[in-house]
Structure 1
Amino acid sequence: MNQISSISSLSRSPASKKQAASVEFRNVTKRYGSVTAVDDVSFTIEPGRLVTLLGPSGCGKTTTLRMIAGLEMASEGQILIGGRDVTNLSAADRDVSMVFQSYALFPHMSVLENVAYGPTVQGVSKKDAYEMAMEKLALIGLKGLEKRAPSELSGGQQQRVAVARALVLEPQVLLFDEPLSNLDAKLRRRVREDIRELQQSLNLTVAYVTHDQEEALAVSDRIIVMSNARIAQTGTPRELYEEPADLFVADFIGDANIVSGEVVDGSGATANVRIGGVNLELPRRGVGQGPVKLAIRPDAITLDDGSNAAGKTMGTVRKASYLGTQVEYEVESPVGNLFVVQYGRKDSIAAGTPVAIAFAPERGIAIIPGA
């Protein structure tokens, strides 16, 4: 079987005997000497939800995850799991399990021995530990591979062994640290779907770290975007994509063209925004009359030959890249160079061709407040 969730009886499989627990950070700070890695961070992960900590390298997301696990201790603030203050508890006392980026499998042990290792260390008999391990291996579609060594498995199979080992103790919270970074693109997509379906089927509370915005959008109930040790914005994938709080979030969550425009009216729920000689009606998002920055998603821009130029601005194609399901363009325009994606078009527009540019707000154009 190729997927964790490919077992048709997944939803009927024995679920965790423990109830999913919440995770709460209250004004948590982590310092390493004079360096602040996490700065006054507060958030809540509701029971049974998958929340992703997303951000570039060095933003504090992995340190935050390690503080949930008890692998790092908070310098200030309070951490609660299931309503219990665990701020000063060791990793062994927190009832959480972590799937590491490297998988951290023991090469000299079989798959079964790897998964049974945790219960065995905790004093469970070898027979019972093996039964617990076999249950989890069956759950994730690895039954029949229990006698193999990790080196005899594919990358995706090794990832699932790591997940089974984390699940075998039925933790209150399951943590993933960049779990797909060692997989190729096609396998990444498959395994992230597996993780998401497993989390939902077993009602697991999951904190998931990644720097890959597409991965975060695909698996998350909510996303916490971090930048420079602080939280930049928290919301659902749709909220972050369609209503970014600032320029950093707009640019980090999906591709975005950041362009200048002008609000030409001063009140109402929608704003009349002028961009490149074209007027658009957009949600106001608290801004008044005057200059604004806009985030325009690549597929919110359409190109044509300009035979009907009403409500459009003119530009020139500088580069076209055919990618099978879509064509990507770089277009020179009065509002700057634009990155444009058009889906389903068979023939590319040649570089150097003049084009009429139209904007479709319903596909993703947002005013950036305070920019």
Structure 2
Amino acid sequence: MRYGSVTAVDNVSFTVEAGKLVTLLGPSGCGKTTTLRMIAGLEIASDGQILIGGQDVTRLSAADRDVSMVFQSYALFPHMSVLENAAYGPTVKGLGKEKSREMALDKLALVGLKGFENRYPSELSGGQQQRVAVARALVLEPQVLLFDEPLSNLDAKLRRRVREEIRELQQDLNLTVAYVTHDQEEALAVSDKIIVMSNAKIAQQGAPRALYEEPANAFVADFIGDANLIDVTVTAVVDGRADVAIGPASVSLPARGLGPGPAKVAIRPESLLLSGQVGQSSLPGTISKCAYLGNHLDIMVETPVGELFVIQYGHHAMLEPGTPVSLSFAGSGVTLIPPA
């Protein structure tokens, strides 16, 4: 997708399998919403092809594509009741008042809004408005359902509940969904596949766990969850395993195609384990900050390889700045990053 000399979506290619939820994830301005709007037909691709169910829809208008979109703002009509909002699609398509009403009632029951038909959007909570928007999108039973940042208007607690509802609905109804968000936790929670975008291109795509545990580059490692990115040296590689020097500590990691020499390693904060014992595979350190966050502590530790972020789950005592500690590495969450 080009706007004059600016390429907003650059040679992006992916497949959403029927019955799966695929998330486009990335920071603001990376091209994810533009990609979604191209699928919807709200933007016409400058180049390339868009196929839905094997049919080329690249040049078709939004009305001629078998897709429905749930917008960030829900875009509900404030002067219409819940039932009228849900029945809007079939009414406009000329399916008759009775048929439209029947289809809308069916989908409202499906999203748990039976009994709310005569209310107006202003009389609903954010989560209920979200479900009206989903019912309205589902009423014509589209081949593909599109979500654009659907939870960004909700508070944190409601966001978790509604994302669970969306995932449940998608799985129960076997819906094919393309979903856009900039929230990594949301993407990890709802997706069958995540496509991480950066600067109008795909940085990496795959299952949530694969992206978290085996990021393709430093951008993905840092964007999906927190990661300490450290310059290290691969001292030897034997049978696909690399001996890695992390400051004075030495660890063995999957080589991921790297040979001996300088490299980077991504360490998840929960994969750094605090103890008082210093050994060959541990880093000496000093506590610089410690914050209590209810179910865990956020800790900053000054080490020979720089300041590292550590998360300690469970009810541990607060650690005073200046306390000497030793950091060892968990069996997972420590990954070599292929060079850019």
Match of 2:304 in 1: 334
User: Superposition pairs for residues 96-115 of structure 1, below 5 Å?
Assistant: 96-115=67-86
From 297, 314, 323, the counterpart of 1:353: 323
The reply on whether 1:170 has 2:141 as its aligned counterpart is yes
Give the counterpart letter for 1:334 in structure 2: P
From 32, 42, 55, the counterpart of 2:13: 42
Distance, in Å, in 2 between the alignment partners of 1:369 and 1:174 is: 35
User: Superposition pairs for residues 258-277 of structure 1, below 5 Å?
Assistant: 258-277=229-248
The reply on whether 1:366 has 2:335 as its aligned counterpart is yes
How many aligned residue pairs are there?
Answer: 340
For the residue of structure 2 that corresponds to 1:118, the secondary structure is helix
Distance, in Å, in 1 between the alignment partners of 2:163 and 2:123 is: 22
The reply on whether 1:53 has 2:30 as its aligned counterpart is no
Deviation at residue 310 of structure 1 after TM alignment: 4.8
Match of 1:207 in 2: 178
From 130, 139, 153, the counterpart of 1:159: 130
Deviation at residue 348 of structure 1 after TM alignment: 1.7
CA contact (8 A) 1:299 1:363 kept: no
Match of 1:11 in 2: none
Match of 2:261 in 1: 290
Distance, in Å, in 2 between the alignment partners of 1:179 and 1:195 is: 10
Write the deviation string for residues 71-104 of structure 1: whole angstroms up to 9, x where unpaired: 0000001110000000000001111000000000
Write the deviation string for residues 282-313 of structure 1: whole angstroms up to 9, x where unpaired: 1100000011100000000011233x545322
Q: TM-score, normalised on structure 1?
A: 0.90
From 80, 87, 90, the counterpart of 1:116: 87
Distance, in Å, in 1 between the alignment partners of 2:10 and 2:282 is: 45
Distance, in Å, in 2 between the alignment partners of 1:311 and 1:243 is: 22
For the residue of structure 1 that corresponds to 2:122, the secondary structure is helix
CA contact (8 A) 1:263 1:273 kept: yes
From 151, 155, 159, the counterpart of 1:180: 151
Give the counterpart letter for 1:367 in structure 2: L
Deviation at residue 58 of structure 1 after TM alignment: 0.4
CA contact (8 A) 1:295 1:367 kept: yes
Could you list the runs of 5+ residues in structure 2 that have no partner in the other structure? none
Q: How much is the aligned-residue C-alpha RMSD, in angstroms?
A: 1.0
CA contact (8 A) 1:267 1:288 kept: no
Distance, in Å, in 1 between the alignment partners of 2:263 and 2:316 is: 36
Write the deviation string for residues 10-58 of structure 1: whole angstroms up to 9, x where unpaired: xxxxxxxxxxxxxxxxxxxx00111110011111111111000000000
Match of 2:107 in 1: 136
CA contact (8 A) 2:250 2:282 kept: no
Distance, in Å, in 2 between the alignment partners of 1:348 and 1:129 is: 60
Give the counterpart letter for 1:109 in structure 2: M
Match of 1:317 in 2: 287
Could you list the runs of 5+ residues in structure 1 that have no partner in the other structure? 1-29
Give the counterpart letter for 2:27 in structure 1: P
Deviation at residue 277 of structure 1 after TM alignment: 1.2
Write the deviation string for residues 170-196 of structure 1: whole angstroms up to 9, x where unpaired: 000000000000000011011101000
Distance, in Å, in 1 between the alignment partners of 2:280 and 2:10 is: 50
Distance, in Å, in 1 between the alignment partners of 2:315 and 2:302 is: 20
The reply on whether 1:303 has 2:311 as its aligned counterpart is no
Give the counterpart letter for 2:118 in structure 1: K
For the residue of structure 2 that corresponds to 1:216, the secondary structure is helix
Deviation at residue 279 of structure 1 after TM alignment: 1.2
| Range that drifts further, 350-359 or 233-242 | 350-359
Deviation at residue 266 of structure 1 after TM alignment: 3.4
CA contact (8 A) 2:295 2:313 kept: yes
Write the deviation string for residues 209-255 of structure 1: whole angstroms up to 9, x where unpaired: 00001100010000011000000101000110011111111110110
Q: TM-score, normalised on structure 2?
A: 0.98
Write the deviation string for residues 111-144 of structure 1: whole angstroms up to 9, x where unpaired: 0000001110000111111111111111111111
